Amino acid sequence: KNEVEQSPQNLTAQEGEFITINCSYSVGISALHWLQQHPGGGIVSLFMLSSGKKKHGRLIATINIQEKHSSLHITASHPRDSAVYICAVRWGPGYFGNEKLTFGTGTRLTIIP
């Protein structure tokens, strides 16, 4: 069965700390997404990666295709970064138009002032 695993499940850190959240998957993928879910439920897409590294503000996402692993980093963390971070993958090349994703169970991040 194709699986997506995230670690840690929960992470509490002090404001300003460097944060790393990990995502591993079992077989080849065509793309990996990082998503953020705030209390109340709304989900926003942060990054989509097929290879390499992407940066947006204080957020950095990397992917290692050979090791089937991705990391999401937050520099200079802030209490407003407190949220659930979710990794999701699109398996294989799929068929044209197939955008189905498989999701990890999420990492709950709490940043303490």
- Check binding of 88 to another protein (CB under 8 A): yes
Token couple for 72: 């999401």
Among the residue ranges 16-24, 28-36, 54-62, 67-75, the one whose residues contact another protein (CB under 8 A): 28-36
Residue 25 touching another protein (CB under 8 A): no
Give min distance, CB of 41 to another protein, in A. 4
**Contact between 105 and another protein per CB under 8 A:** yes
Q: How far apart are CA 104 and CA 7, in angstroms?
A: 10
Smallest distance, another protein to C-beta of residue 16, A: 29
Helix (H) or strand (E) holding 23: strand 19-25
Give residue for tokens 């692993």.
69
Q: Closest Cα to residue 64, out of 97, 113, 22?
A: 22
Do the beta carbons of residue 88 and residue 104 sit within 8 Å? yes
Min dist CB 18 to another protein, Å, is 25
State which of residues 7, 10, 12, 51 lies at the interface with another protein (CB under 8 A). Answer: 51
43 vs 36: CA distance, rounded Å: 6
Q: Which residues contact another protein (rule: CB under 8 A)?
A: 30-31, 33, 40-45, 48, 50-51, 86, 88, 90, 93, 96-101, 103-106
